[in-house]
Amino acid sequence: MSEQTIAELGEFALIDLVRGRLGTSDYVLVGPGDDAAHIATADGTYVTATDILVEGRHFRRDWSTAADIGRKAVAANLSDINAMGGVATALVVAFAAPGDTPVKWVADLIGGMVEECDKVGAKIVGGDMSAADQIVISITALGDAERPVTRSGAQVGDQVAYAGTLGLASAGYGALSRGFRSPKAAVDEHRAPHPPYAAGPAAAAGGATSMIDISDGLLADLGHVARASKVAIDLDPASFPILDAVQTVAGALGGVDPLRFVLAGGDDYALAATFPTSASLPEGWTRIGVVKAGEGVTVAGAPYEGGTGHKHWN
């Protein structure tokens, strides 16, 4: 292990290594490994999640405005609380940047953060600042969930469904990477996503057995559900609507299969969940597959050959 790098080990093996050294506590009801932790307090419970955005890795200032970046940073955290069936109430923000960063840029960043917080009624309540060679934004969100929905509850026979938009942000990234600034719907979604904030609590109230937000790609993230629940998931490719903007980008990139953006793209911060087979799906949720015995995620009964999603240290 002493000579192995974290890139060689991989993100999820690294997480497992860290989890194995953290210990347990009676206050920790759901710990590391889910979208958010569920913590007990003297007078109740709360859910909490954290996310980090690094300039050049998660955003580029020549692609996105400061307000867009602020919205995206907050959305990534609100989405994790949403994926537990909860609603965020407070955020703390850590911000690091070079000293020559314009003050107006930072003011616009905060404006975007506040705009996104207002969508769920959350407030920024504190944080920290530091100098750095590039801009880094780390946010921790806290919220309430009447019935936290974890990744580990999927049962054989459950129906698999999603809420939100899939593929649009990934298509936008593909367009921007080739120097395009259109189609606008895709590019705008990459710059600042629109998570379905009402869908998480609705799924929890509707009996969802497991849930996750789609940040790294539908196949990759459903893989976490399958692994945590010790089941297999099979998706129906015909059940996914392919948006016009996704079709346009796929064609412009040389005939890329547009389904790849839907299945392996990330950054839309949609939700995927499993529901009992007899349950009526809440408004805004669309059935896309079924939970089976076994392990892993398949598409029409077979492994998908187009990749599964984003990987850190790739």
To the question of whether residue 62 is assigned a binding role by annotation, the answer is no
To the question of whether residue 151 is assigned a binding role by annotation, the answer is yes
Alpha-carbon distance 94 to 10, whole Å?
26
To the question of whether residue 158 is assigned a binding role by annotation, the answer is no
To the question of whether residue 215 is assigned a binding role by annotation, the answer is yes
To the question of whether residue 35 is assigned a binding role by annotation, the answer is yes
To the question of whether residue 128 is assigned a binding role by annotation, the answer is yes
Alpha-carbon distance 105 to 64, whole Å?
11
To the question of whether residue 213 is assigned a binding role by annotation, the answer is yes
To the question of whether residue 144 is assigned a binding role by annotation, the answer is no
Alpha-carbon distance 126 to 239, whole Å?
43
Binding residues: 35, 50-51, 58, 80, 127-128, 151, 213, 215-216, 267
Binding residues for Mg(2+): 35, 50-51, 80, 128, 213, 216
Binding residues for ATP: 127-128, 151, 215
Binding residues for substrate: 58, 267
